[in-house]
Amino acid sequence: MASLVLALNSAVSIAPGALGTLTVLAWPHVRRIEIALAIQFAGALAFAMYFMQGGSTTAALCCLVSAAQLLIARTVHDRGSLLLLFAGSALLLLALTALSWNGLTSALALGGGLCGTLARMQASTLRMKKVFLAAAPLSLAHNAITGSGFGLLVDVISIVSNSVAICRRVIGPTYWEIGERGLLLGRGLLTSLPRSSRQTRGVPVLPALVADPGPASNM
């Protein structure tokens, strides 16, 4: 019986971080911003519980504010109202950080929360990804100091997945064109093609060299 209780306690302690990790794996590869926000909402709640279990109160509160922001972004469609509500949530974030202040870790959590606020105000998930990527060092530093294993794992996953998604989205749609003389033209790439490889202008050639345009129209 005791071993069962220990196993259940272990599962309860691991579950929030594991769920949050799964959401981070999923949302960068979603095209529709509504679905991306819904997945992030679940992840924010999961990590709020995870950080609270680990004693990182400011980070947990930031996650709860993030969840509220995601709900606002999903339900409020008027741009002016959205900006006003997000500004209010940023002020709430500042107040909660002051109440739970714990030095450097609280400052890092606040910085990450404010960057998240800016990211979620974007109408494009591509821009959202760029802001999150720029804010990654704050999260990395916080989770390294607090010893948040799942947090560090998610940071690495987020950096890699967002970087890949951004590259696929930005580079992919404008990749290669076939010129009049059968030259493969791309970003910084000029490769001669044999006459037999020529196709209609604008049609990708050599699929192995052409990345998929990307799963997101997003952050």
Candidates 167, 168, 195; CA nearest to 181 is: 195
pLDDT band at 108 (very low <50, low <70, confident <90, very high): very high
Reduced to 3 states (helix: H, G, I; strand: E, B; else coil), residue 153 is helix
**In this structure, are residues 42 and 19 in contact, taking their beta carbons and an 8 Å threshold?**
yes
Q: What is the pLDDT of residues 66-88, one digit of tens each?
A: 999 888 878 888 888 988 999 99
Q: What percent of the chain has pLDDT over 90?
A: 40
Residue whose C-alpha is closest to residue 110's, from 90, 81, 129, 125: 90
- Model pLDDT, residue 11: 61
Q: Is the pLDDT of residue 206 over 90?
A: no
Does 5 score more than 80 pLDDT? no
Give me the pLDDT at residue 189, please: 39
pLDDT in tens, 110-165: 999 999 888 878 778 788 888 989 999 999 999 999 999 999 998 998 888 788 88
| Residue 191: predicted pLDDT | 40
Rounded Cα gap, residues 62 and 116, in angstroms: 9
Q: What pLDDT does residue 141 have?
A: 96
Q: Cβ of 173: how many Cβ atoms within 10 Å?
A: 11
| DSSP code per residue over 65-101 | HHHHHHHHHHH---HHHHHHHHHHHHHHHHHHHHHT-
- pLDDT tens per residue across span 169-182: 777 654 433 443 34
Domain boundaries, the chain: 2-172, 174-209
State residue 10's pLDDT score. 57
Q: Calculate what percentage of the chain has a pLDDT beyond 70.
A: 72
Bridge partners of 191, per DSSP, are 184
Opening angle at CA 68, ends 124 and 30, nearest 5? 35
Q: Which of 39-43, 94-98, 194-198 has the lowest mean pLDDT?
A: 194-198
pTM: predicted TM-score of the whole model, two decimal places: 0.69
**Of 17-31, 136-150, 158-172, 191-205, which one has max mean pLDDT?**
136-150
Check whether 193 has a pLDDT greater than 50. no
SS3 of residue 50 by DSSP: helix
What pLDDT is stored for residue 121 in this prediction? 81
- Mean pLDDT, the chain, whole residue set: 76
Length of the chain counted residue by residue: 219
